[in-house]
A and B are shown apart, each in its own frame.
Chain A
Amino acid sequence: MASRRAVRRRSVVKRALTYVAVVIVCVIFLFPIFWLIATALKTRAQAFSFPPLMEPHLQELPRRLH
């Protein structure tokens, strides 16, 4: 019985590790695409600021869309 529980625990750990790995991979591959969209929504000054802004200030967006 104990060994069966150990097997089950191992499978839970394995599943958790799989999820963590998948999330990390997705974040790495999608970050440039996220950055592409985020940059598209920034003003020129925001796009070239340092340190880079992680999120655009969207209150200026309606003005830019005109």
Chain B
Amino acid sequence: LLEKYFPIFLIIPALAVVFFLVIFPLVWSLGLSFYRYNALRGGGKITFLGLGNYLRLLSGSLVWERLITTGEFVAAAVCIEFLLGLALALLFSQQFKGRRLAITLVTMPMLIAPVAAGIFFRYVFDATFGVVTYFIYLVTGAKVKLLSNYAMLSVVLVDVWQWTPFMMLFILAGLESIPRHLLESAEIDRFSWFTRFKVVIWPTIRPLVMLALLFRTMDAFRTFDSVFALTEGGPGTQTELISITLYRIAFQYFRTGESCALAFLILIIVILLTNLYLRMARRVT
């Protein structure tokens, strides 16, 4: 009997960790999202609302506006990162001396914590003594207030600076897995650069590109720390992403039930996006 149940005893600790750290909070917050509940007031009055929280969020204009802001941010950041990453990967797939070193140097921004990057770029973009402001002043002769007049642009720039190397690494891995004989025969057939890209390179790197786009889209959708450290969603609500709204509802207004509902709405959106990408990736292969 002991021998039969011994394996079960062995997996109990791991299961317990997963249950208490993942499944239990998930189910608990799903439950909370159906109640009017304020974590600050503790055991005050907790009323059951059913789908009331969801309906209130979806019928108000707040969430939709924030979703549009988030969509702009995600679209701009991911598109620029993809194009830049592809260009960099094509550049770094060439053989030259110091290639390893250059790749290591370019991937360094990924190693910086997003909060630190946000706080630091706040100093770099500062309107009176930031370096970037100074460079723009040298080139154009105008003092640009990056964080107040071009807030969305600067937020996107920080994200691009930090995560383009990630995109580049993925595409580079794809480029290096292209069979050599395909490239050689393309060269013998004297394909133009564009044809070679379309027929040989793109089909091979496509699955990896899709995966990288999926990761970046999900990540950009959940971005909180760098944007919050950089602008705190301001000026006004110009760069207030959905995650910052979630933070405000949960920890500044302490409408805990409503914030749980919003969290699940975001989860649903991310799952839909993921399925869309996976379907697009599967269609060709």
Contact = CB atoms under 8 A, between A and B. Distances in A.
Binding partners A and B: yes
Interface of A: 15, 18-19, 21-22, 25-26, 29-30, 32-33, 35-36, 39, 47-52
Contact of A15 (B92, B96, B106): B96
Contacts, number: 50
B120 interface: yes
A25 B160 CA distance: 13
B106 A25 contact: yes
B161 interface: yes
Nearest to A28: B161
Interface of B: 88, 91-92, 94, 96, 102, 105-106, 108-109, 112, 120-121, 123-124, 128-131, 134, 161, 164-165
A30 B134 contact: no
Nearest to B120: A36
B134 A32 contact: no
Contacts of B109: 29, 32-33
A35 B131 contact: yes
Given A18-B96, A30-B108, A25 B131 contact: no
B91 A32 contact: no
